[in-house]
Structure formats: structure tokens, C-alpha cells
Amino acid sequence: MSSAKKDIRTLTLDELVAFFEANGEKKFRAKQVMEWLWKKSATSFDQMNNVGKGVTNLLSEHFELKTIKLADQQISSDRTIKSAFEVDPDKVVEGVLIPTTNRMTACISSQVGCSLACKFCATGRLKMMRNLTAGEIYDQVVHLRNEAQNRYQIPLSNIVYMGMGEPLLNYKNVLTSIEKITSPDGLGMSPQRITVSTAGIAKMIKKLGDDEVKFNLALSLHAANDEKRNQIMDINETNNLEILADALKYFYQKTGTRVTFEYIIFKDFNDSIKDAHELANYSKNLPVKINIIEYNPIDGGEYQQAAPERVDAFAKFLESKNLIVNVRRSRGKDIDAACGQLANKNKANQAS
């Protein structure tokens, strides 16, 4: 037998049932163990105190229960908490807890690094190292949920897959993690409180539609003409605005869920009324709402934050076209926890 033990959280219930039967144990043990893994968020086999010592010894012999470790934590002056999680001895991902007046949001990562290299994003400067497992994604939620409850006495209300990585390039693990987070046999959160953000991979957006997902989808748009979007997002070369519009219509047709456009607004790049006009035209035939996001500068970045009066004028123009618009003021900037800043200062992840 190989010395490397399998991570127990990669098993399905049926696989665990088969394992117990093959080892002369009762089938119902599998359900008990699954409850410890995904509902009670056990971090070791020893915590499973209702399954018997024989079962925990059997599990320890054949499997490992590998959970992420908190490596570092910073708390912003606005109460935002950034947590760095060690997933391998030399690999770190970040998750952020964002408290606002009416919600408590966990922003979580789906990959170590990112392969898309969007020009304005710190994570895009890291090399792509690996996908996170469903368990590693789930662990971030559990940790941030506990922080919300223990530190602020407020339950976690929302989850956004907007941390490090492109979720749709880790499709299977992301969907499995959401299933564990939303299942009554898991954390029991409503899928309507979860948003997955993508840089725009059309075929995977269509796959979300085919899978009739119940969670929300956000598209990182940032420009509504191909020439500008190509400049800041390489992915647009193969997934241009026309291709994306087709995929988003398909997604809506299959799920009935309105998509959110995330539009980071940059000084003198995409903050003019002409840009707002292009965005309004692009949005008019799509079931969307628009989040305009303040830009958060990164070290050595070429873009700057748009002036507040330009942001307000931009939003007012879109509203005049009967579009649903929210301006998102950034939080956690003083600890590099704001949108686009994750891993900006993390030495462990720098490309070697």
C-alpha cells in the first residue's frame, strides 16, 4: 500500500459506505463520519466521539484529515479581518471577513495563485500553483464563520468566491464545496447567499446553466468594449464581450438568476460618461445589476483610483438608463484585504 494516505474529505458517502463494508463495519458509520466532517467541521478523527475507537483507528490507518492552518491574521481599522491560511508548507491563500451594517461576508479563495494575470490584480502576479480542494475551500468558510460569531457575535450572512484564483477553472471542487456549505448535511447555508465571481469563461458559464446552479454569478467586466477589456484582461482575447453576452443569456435562461457585473473603475481609463454609455448599451439586453467598485492600488500598479465625483457621475448616468447600480466602497485597504489586493504582500506565494 502507498505510504500517502488519501484525504478522507475527497470521498463520497457511497465510497465511505463501501470502505466500511469492506472492513467489516456497519454502513451507518459512514453517515456518522460524514456528519463529523461536513456538519460539525471536525479537524481530527479523535473528535468523532460517537463512532467508537475501532472506527477512528481504522480511519487513521487508511486516511488523513487534512485541514488548512491559520498562518497569519490582520484586523483593519474598519473591522475587516484578513486571514492567511497555509495549505502546504510553502503555499498560502487568503480569506477575508467583511463586516458591514447589514451583512457579514466571507470572501474566499479557490486557487493558490491565478493563471489569468489581470493587469490590476495582485493575485494575478503570482504564478498559478494549484487548485484548492473542496475541503480547503470549506475550511476557509468555517474559519471566517467562527470569527464572525466569536469576535463580532454576528452570524455569517454571505459568501463570495472572489478571493485568489478563478473559480470556474476549479469547477468541480468549487461546486462540491458549495454543495457541502449549503447542504442540510453540511453547513446549511442558503445558495442564494453565495456568489461565484468569474473573469469570464463562457463555456463554464454555460455549464453552470446546464447544472442549474442555485447560487449567484458575478462577472468581472471592468470595460464594455473589447479593445479596453483586452488591455487589462487577457481572457477577453478568447472570451470577448459578444461570446460572454451569449453565455450570460444562456445562464439566465437555465437558472432564472440575474447576473451581477463587477466594474472596477479606474482613473482616466474606464471612468468617463462614454464608458458608462458603453456599459449601459452592453447591459440593456442582459438581466444584470451592476456593482461599481473603487479601485485599490497595488504595489507598482499602473492604475489609480477614479475621483469620487467621476464615480458618482458614472453611477448616475447608469441609473438614468434604469439600470440597478450599487457603488461599493472598499474595505480593509489598510491591511491589503480589499478587492484585487490579496497576496500582494505574501512572500510565501511570490513566483520563484
Contacts 24+ apart (CB under 8 A), 11-15: 11/63
CA atoms of 170 and 130, how far apart (whole Å): 9
Of the pLDDT bands very low, low, confident and very high (cuts 50, 70, 90), residue 259 is very high
**Model confidence band, residue 2 (pLDDT cutoffs 50, 70, 90):** very low
- Please report the pLDDT score of residue 160 as a whole number: 97
* Contact in structure between 129 and 349 (CB atoms under 8 Å): yes
* Contact of 286 with 250, CB cutoff 8 Å: no
The CATH homologous superfamily for domain 69-349 is Aldolase class I (3.20.20.70)
Helix or strand run (H / E) with residue 71: strand 69-75
**Could you tell me the fold of the domain covering 7-64?**
DNA polymerase; domain 1 (1.10.150)
Which tens digits make up the pLDDT trace of 206-253?
999 999 999 999 999 999 999 999 999 999 999 999 999 999 999 999
Catalytic residue among 107, 114, 118, 339: 339
pLDDT score at 114: 84
Residues 26-48: tens digit of each pLDDT: 999 999 999 999 999 999 999 99
Does the annotation mark 294 as catalytic?
no
Residue 3 has a pLDDT of 55
pLDDT of residue 41: 97
If 0-12 CB within 10 Å is exposed, 13-18 middle and 19+ buried, where does residue 150 land? exposed
In the chain, DSSP finds a helix count (H) and a strand count (E) of 10, 14
Whether 162 has a pLDDT exceeding 80, the answer reads yes
Name which of 123, 184, 185, 189 is nearest 156 in CA terms: 189
CATH 3.20.20.70 residue window(s) in the chain: 69-349
Task: Report d(CA 110, CA 173) in Å as an integer.
Answer: 8
**pLDDT tens sequence across 51-74:** 999 999 999 999 999 999 999 999
Residue 190: the pLDDT is 98
What does the pLDDT read at residue 140?
Answer: 98
Residue type, 260: T
List the one residue out of 331, 244, 327, 246 whose CA is nearest residue 289: 327
Taking only the tens place, the pLDDT of each residue in 274-325 is 999 999 999 998 999 999 998 877 656 678 889 999 999 999 999 999 999 9
Mean pLDDT across the chain: 91
Cβ 301 vs Cβ 120: under 8 Å: yes
Which residues of the chain are in CATH 1.10.150.530 domains? 7-64
Residue carrying the nine cell digits 456549505: 181
Q: Residues 171-189: pLDDT tens digits?
A: 999 999 999 999 999 999 9
- Residue 150 pLDDT exceeds 80: yes
Annotated catalytic residue 107: no
The pLDDT, as a whole number, for residue 348 is 43
Which three three-digit cell numbers place residue 298? 497595488
Give the amino acid at 272: S
> What's the pLDDT score for residue 127?
77
Report helix, strand or coil for 123: helix
* Percent of the chain's residues with pLDDT above 70: 90
Q: Which of 94, 166, 262, 294 is catalytic?
A: 94
